[in-house]
């Protein structure tokens, strides 16, 4: 039976490493369920024996990643605001923030979907897709994209659950969606004979299951949402946009960087793009724990920040970095040992196999630096400095990607693109470390509720406060 007890901040006491480990592993299991289904999708599509289908999924995945990054940014705002209010003992305000972000997510989801659907050929051509590959990618996206608002609401629900320390139910929501997708994939792709369309339809149904499984416990167990009110949404717009806009911009940078990499790889042929598509599915499966760190450590930092426990905030960041180092070393060794079976699973040959071997080799260790960036960005978002995340991520995925990818392509072809991308990550991880030390050193200074307070619109956009 659902409980209706008053929400409490659970991360203010206890071992921070234990909190980080539990939240990261639990959150990552849910993420892995979704990413594993994408991975299986690619296996099934590869079985159809058409390289154009695999390439189409690669291009479609890049564009869908862009739209999903908007949802991730909004959910970051929900998690940061709710966790901070819970840490400060203001549970009613936490509910209001969660509701406001959910409504904004639905509105943004509808708007972005309409704009993207009317401009699909243009966006896909920018990525380098053309001919039959472009047509297939557009068809795949057209089926999935209208459910963007569904994922916006679902991800807000999961962020609210994590903010309350309930990583288990957040994990269960994604697992339910992953199981539904995994069951429907072979049925719709092969048994019904829908092929690529079947994979897209399975994803749509899975999204609906995730929505129900995330929002229901957030409402019934934690009373995480308030009654919807347009007046309240307008009232909350200031503090919500203070985190949501930089967070959305931060996450949009990631698919921009991926698009740059795919465009550079595309010049080396369909085999190279297919190899990138496989790596794109393999990366989140192997390093789901690293990807989960942003959502896992955010509530820990946010609750302690709201409660004024600044020493625990600093220690939480260090615990996140240590945890990342241990996990990446273990997973990199595993990938190296399994590189041949992984390549054989996709029947990879030539350039495709070379890229998979490169990723499963020493290059996997570069994920540590990505993990440092994820932990730092979560800290910035929850400590009232979301603009730092924006600058770091855009820098990492533009200046830290494009020149290195171009130089790598010139020197070593398609493998050089991946090596160059990894090198850029090292540089920006160091920048993140320096910025986090600076932010933590100023935590004793009282922070305004709205990080944009006292700034002009131009200053707020470009983040002059604190620089």
Interval 197-206 mean pLDDT = 91
pLDDT level of residue 1 (50, 70, 90 thresholds): very low
Q: Which of 138-152, 255-269, 299-313 has the lowest mean pLDDT?
A: 255-269
- Residues ≥6 apart with Cβ < 8 Å to 28: 288, 289, 291, 292, 296
Give the pLDDT band of residue 59 (cuts 50, 70, 90): confident
Burial class (CB in 10 A: 0-12, 13-18, 19+), 312: buried
Confidence of residue 467 (pLDDT cuts 50, 70, 90): very low
Residue 113 tokens read as 């979907």
Q: Is 350 left (phi over 0), alpha (psi -120 to 50) or beta?
A: left
Average pLDDT over residues 315-330: 92
> Which two structure tokens, joined as six digits, stand for 241?
């946009």
DSSP 3-state assignment of 386?
helix
Q: Give me the pLDDT at residue 465, please.
A: 42
pLDDT band for position 245 (50/70/90)?
confident
Q: Decide if pLDDT at 4 tops 70.
A: no
**What average pLDDT does this structure show over 56-85?**
84
pLDDT, tens digit, 9 for 90 and up, residues 115-149: 999 999 999 998 788 888 899 999 999 999 999 99
Quick one: pLDDT at residue 39? 66
C-alpha gyration radius of the chain? 21
For residue range 96-109, what is the model confidence (pLDDT) as tens digits? 999 999 999 999 99
At 362, the pLDDT band (50, 70, 90 cuts) reads confident
What is the band of 376 on the pLDDT scale with cuts at 50, 70, 90? very high
Mean of the per-residue pLDDT values for the chain?
84
Question: What is the C-alpha separation between 445 and 461, in angstroms, rounded?
Answer: 23
Determine the average pLDDT of the residues in 151-167.
Answer: 91
pTM given for the model: 0.74
**SS3 per-residue string spanning 206-267:** HHHHHHHHHHHHHHHCCCCCCCCCHHHHHHHHHHHHHHHHHHHHHHHHHHHHHHHHHHHHHC
Is residue 199 a contact partner of residue 140, using CB atoms and an 8 Å limit?
Answer: yes
- Dist CA 131 CA 224 (whole Å): 47
- Domain boundaries, given as residue ranges, for the chain: 16-445
Checking if the pLDDT of 449 tops 50, the result is no
Mean pLDDT for 147-170 is 91
Q: CA 202: distance to chain centroid?
A: 21
3 pLDDT exceeds 60?
A: no
- The larger pLDDT score, comparing residue 417 to residue 49, is at 417
322 pLDDT more than 70: yes
- The token pair at 313 is 């905030």
pLDDT at 336: 92
pLDDT, mean of residues 285-311: 84
Do the beta carbons of residue 264 and residue 406 sit within 8 Å? yes
- How far apart CA 356 and CA 375 sit, in angstroms, is 27
Q: For residue 466, name the pLDDT band (cuts at 50, 70, 90).
A: very low
Q: What does residue 452 show for φ and ψ, rounded to 5 degrees?
A: -95, 5
What is the average pLDDT across 416-441? 91
Residue 201 has pLDDT above 80, yes or no: yes
CA dist 69 and 94 (Å) reads 23
Phi-psi region of 225 (alpha: psi -120 to 50; beta: other; left: phi over 0): beta
Residue 303 has pLDDT above 90, yes or no: no
pLDDT attached to residue 7: 60
> Looking up tokens 């939480």, which residue turns up?
316
Confidence of residue 35 (pLDDT cuts 50, 70, 90): low
H-helix segments, 48-195: 51-87, 91-117, 120-127, 131-144, 148-163, 167-186
**pLDDT tens-digit readout, 228-240:** 888 889 989 888 8
Highest mean pLDDT among 138-142, 449-453, 462-466: 138-142
Among candidate residues 395, 406, 456, 460, the one with its CA nearest the CA of residue 429: 395
Task: From 393, 386, 67, select the one nearest 254 (Cα to Cα).
Answer: 393
State the pLDDT confidence band at 296, using cuts at 50, 70 and 90: confident
Summarize pLDDT for 387-423 with one digit per residue, the tens: 898 899 899 989 999 999 999 888 888 888 889 999 9
pLDDT in tens, 262-288: 888 888 887 888 888 788 778 877 887
């Amino acid at each position: 039976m659902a409980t209706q007890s008053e929400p409490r901040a659970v991360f203010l006491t206890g071992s921070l490493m234990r909190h980080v480990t539990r939240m990261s592993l639990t959150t990552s299991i849910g993420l892995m369920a979704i990413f594993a289904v994408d991975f299986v999708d690619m296996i099934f599509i590869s079985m159809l024996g058409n390289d154009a289908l695999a390439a189409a999924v690669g291009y479609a995945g890049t564009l869908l990643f862009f739209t999903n990054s908007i949802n991730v940014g909004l959910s970051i705002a929900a998690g940061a605001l709710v966790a901070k209010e819970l840490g400060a003992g203001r549970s009613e305000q936490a509910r209001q923030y969660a509701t406001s972000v959910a409504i904004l997510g639905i509105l943004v989801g509808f708007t972005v979907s309409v704009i993207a659907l009317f401009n699909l050929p243009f966006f896909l051509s920018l990525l380098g897709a053309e001919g039959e590959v472009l047509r297939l990618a557009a068809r795949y996206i057209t089926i999935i994209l209208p459910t963007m608002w569904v994922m916006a609401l679902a991800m807000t629900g999961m962020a609210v659950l994590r903010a309350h320390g309930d990583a288990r139910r957040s994990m269960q929501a994604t697992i339910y969606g992953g199981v539904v997708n995994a069951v429907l994939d072979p049925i719709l792709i092969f048994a019904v004979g829908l092929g690529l369309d079947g994979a897209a339809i399975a994803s749509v149904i899975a999204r609906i299951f995730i929505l129900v499984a995330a929002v229901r416990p957030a409402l019934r167990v934690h009373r995480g949402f308030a009654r919807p009110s347009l007046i309240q949404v307008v009232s909350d717009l200031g503090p919500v946009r203070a985190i949501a806009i930089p967070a959305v911009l931060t996450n949009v940078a990631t698919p921009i960087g991926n698009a740059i990499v795919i465009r550079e790889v595309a010049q080396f042929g369909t085999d190279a793009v297919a190899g990138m598509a496989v790596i794109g599915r393999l990366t989140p499966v192997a390093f789901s724990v690293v990807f989960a760190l942003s959502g896992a450590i955010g509530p820990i930092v946010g609750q302690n920040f709201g409660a004024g426990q600044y020493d625990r905030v600093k220690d939480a960041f260090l615990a996140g970095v240590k945890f990342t180092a241990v996990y990446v070393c273990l997973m990199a060794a595993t990938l190296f040992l399994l590189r041949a079976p992984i390549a054989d699973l996709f029947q990879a040959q030539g350039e495709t196999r070379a890229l998979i071997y490169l990723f499963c080799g020493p290059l996997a260790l570069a994920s540590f630096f990505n993990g440092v960036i994820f932990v730092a960005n979560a800290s910035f978002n929850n400590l009232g400095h979301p603009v730092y995340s924006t600058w770091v991520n855009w820098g990492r995925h533009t200046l830290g990607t494009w020149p290195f990818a171009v130089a790598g392509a010139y020197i070593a072809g398609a493998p050089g693109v991946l090596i160059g991308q990894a090198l850029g990550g090292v540089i920006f991880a160091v920048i993140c470390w320096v910025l986090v030390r600076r932010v933590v050193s100023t935590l004793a200074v009282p922070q305004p509720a709205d990080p944009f307070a006292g700034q002009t619109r131009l200053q707020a956009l470009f983040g002059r406060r604190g620089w």
